Homo-oligomer: A and B are copies of this chain.
Amino acid sequence: MKKVIIVGSVALDSISSPFGKVERTVGGSAIYASLSASLFSPAGIVGVVGKDFPKGFLSNLKRRKIDTSGIKFEKGKTFFWRGKYSWDLNTAHTLATQLNVFANFKGEIPSNFLKEEFLFLANIDPVLQLQVLKRMKKSGGAKFVAGDTMNFWIERKKEELKRVISFLDVFLLNEAELRQFTGQHNILKGIKKIFAMSKNLKGIVVKRGEYGTCFFMKNRMFFLPAFPLEDAVDPTGAGDSFAGTFMGWLASRKKINWQELKKAIVYGTIVASFTVAGFGTKGLLSLKKSEISKRYRKFAKMVHFEKTQI
């Protein structure tokens, strides 16, 4: 069984929305992505935490067969984030960020991870993304790499990010970041621009929050709405759940083709919808495969239509 290696942040999050709040819950891109990937494939997580990290949480990862040997325990405090959402759950308002031990995160990959084929580079400094990527490629791993980013890096390290993208198979970003990165308001024009600058890139995922996701290859595209929820309460980690699921599904397949890529997008959307329905990782931790399958079938009914002719 192929293992998905996930490199990113492990955090303690204090989150509030009009629907409730939670204090210092375990979060971070690598946590959401690995919990999600592990629904479909084994996963290995690479991150750093401090002395205040609740070690009991590791049992949640191990129960999902997530290899935690890449989590380093350092002196100091775990990366802390405090954020707030208003009724419009699309935008997070950051109230506090304390990088703590994450400031010195080097993304050291355990030797037993180095040859793994599937790598997800969650949103971290592109310089670090490139180091991890090169290290694994040199060891014969990282044959299929997906990478995420954020507005912070597009503003500050655009050239480094471009270099990372040139090594990626799939690049994930949200719609506002696409516009920021390409200077194009029109999505199709922006996508063309990214493909033109990154010859090896095969696919681009554009995340549009409650409006869903589009997936582009050079000559095809797939559009999917978000799964509609009456009980959305906390979108934290939705994008990382999406990406982890996307990679987990693909790692579980014998072949990666257009049909499997589309399914990866659908599963990513569905797992993300369960993430959003609970604070922190709550929705993810209690998620059963039967619930995913049920929602997959429901989703197909919601978006498919019959052929016809005029």
Contact = CB atoms under 8 A, between A and B. Distances in A.
A302 interface: yes
Interface residues of A, number: 43
Contacts of A224: 225, 303, 305
Copies of this chain, count: 2
Interface stretch (A118-126, A143-151, A258-266): A258-266
Given A185-B88, A188-B229, A229-B188, A222 B262 contact: no
A178 B307 CA distance: 30
A211 B208 contact: yes
A110 interface: no
A79 B81 CA distance: 54
Given A212-B225, A223-B225, A310-B289, A305 B263 contact: yes
Contact of A228 (B187, B229, B232): B187
Given A310-B40, A310-B292, A221 B228 contact: yes
Given A188-B228, A259-B306, A262-B305, 12 more contacts: A186-B232, A211-B212, A222-B303, A223-B225, A224-B225, A259-B305, A262-B306, A263-B305, A266-B305, A296-B308, A300-B305, A300-B307
22 contacts: A87-B185, A186-B230, A186-B232, A187-B228, A188-B228, A188-B230, A208-B211, A221-B228, A223-B225, A223-B228, A223-B303, A224-B303, A224-B305, A259-B306, A262-B305, A262-B306, A263-B305, A263-B306, A263-B308, A265-B305, A289-B310, A300-B307
